[in-house]
Structure 1
Amino acid sequence: MEAQNKGTETLSTIKFNRQTALKMEKIALKLGRPKRLVFAQMVEYFYRSKKDPLDINDELLKNTLLKQHRDYIGFIRTQENDLLVPIKREVDRMTRSQKNIVDFFNGQQRHNKVVLEVDRDMLDGQKSLTDIIKMALGSLDGISASLATKEALKDQFRYILENYIRTRDGFGMMTSAKEKEELVRVTRKQIDLL
């Protein structure tokens, strides 16, 4: 390197081959800056980032991305353990409960058929019960279809929970026990409808 004085700025010269000069010109044209400015910015970049120009794969970036990926996976696992597993457990419990209701209705229906043979007046009641059972089974089919996706169930449960919390937080000290019981009843009914 040799020093040259040009005004108040001290300049240095670096010699490099023609192939490197062509690459430098392409970079400067692409960036729309003078070669001297691009070179100074390259030196500043490597000085600040403490990166080795030979490290083309950029291990620091890879390590940062890996760490963020691990953090993201950890977050997902935490959400799964804290939210999805308890929700699935409750959904399974509700499904078993609804199956018991259907079994009860089916047993009640068989019982009613025996009673109908004895008393024809009960026929209208049996038809109504059968219609109710069909509606309940249709509702259960709809519920089963809505339980097919975890995201939909999670969103519905979150909405019910947020509505409950928002309403509960809106209660003052003068809120009656009847209003509180009504909130609990409505919330339980919404959860039963999931």
Structure 2
Amino acid sequence: METRKTDKGNTLRTIKYDTQTAQKMERIALKLGRPQRVVFAQMVDYFHRSKKDPTDVNDELLKNTLLKQHKDYIGFIKTQESDLLIPMKTEVDRMTRSQKNIIDFFNGQGQHNKVMLAAQQEVISGIKAHSSIVSGATSAIKALADKLATKEQLKKKFHYILDNYIRSRDAFGMMTSSREKEELIQHTKKQIEIL
């Protein structure tokens, strides 16, 4: 190690190292954005304060720090598990059972609906079969109603003819000839035949 004095009164020392180490030092300084001399001074300060051995990869302080953080994370996860995950899993299980019950109910309803549909089809078939009977009965009733209406009209016309005959006969007096009476009877019979 070489020593030399600067104009400020500080004594500078020089450390010689190989090219690989120089390249690593340059990369670290570039990455941190500081001059190499500052980075070197900070590295020395760090190892001085932390009392770490740079050759000790299994540093106890680092392990303890990591373990403490790991325990904190595990504690946090266990708290979340008991507060959130277990109740959430219980609710999801309950919802799954409810959904299964609903699906089973709807599947049962599907069978019931098939039975009801088959029964409705039988009723419709029966109605169609009976509709021809009902249709025949309806046409028979209509024909009977038409005949009754015709019969009623005939009765009315007959009453009209009969009333005319009676009026005309009553209008005849004692002096009416039998020929006029016979013409009245023939005229009345013709009107009845026209019916």
Report the TM-score range of the alignment, normalised by the length of the smaller protein.
0.3 to 0.5
RCO higher in structure (CA 8 A, sep ≥6): 1
Q: Please say which structure displays the higher CA radius of gyration.
A: 2
TM-score, normalised to structure 1's length? 0.43
TM-score, normalised to structure 2's length? 0.42
